[in-house]
Amino acid sequence: EGSIPDKFYANSFLQTLDVGYNRLTGKLPRSLLNCSFLQFLSLDNNRIKDTFPFWLKVLPDLQILILRSNEFYGPISPPHQGPLG
């Protein structure tokens, strides 16, 4: 239980973050954008309530993103910017 830390610092070499099945609440911190080497992000089966994190698409190495069983809402792509792909 708890929440994801608010701060992920620039130049982090974090490649894998798996916090599934932890009953996490709150929002997804935009500081995850500082993790430019992130390849795998699993947030499944928590209680995260936030807008859909379309902004994660700018992470250059992100290959696997698991968001199921949370409370994400809103458009999957930001207005006027096209699809995620």
* Number of domains into which the chain is organized: 1
Q: What is the pLDDT of residues 44-76, one digit of tens each?
A: 999 999 999 999 999 999 999 999 999 999 988
pTM, entire model: 0.88
50: Cβ contacts below 8 Å, ≥ 6 apart: 26, 27, 28, 71, 72, 73
- Does residue 68 lie within any of the structural domains? yes
Is the residue at 7 inside a domain? yes
Q: Is residue 10, in this structure, part of any structural domain at all?
A: yes
Beta pairing class for 16-18 and 47-51: unpaired
Domain that holds residue 56: 2-73
pLDDT one-digit tens code per residue, 29-45: 999 999 999 999 999 99
For residue 80, is it within any domain? no
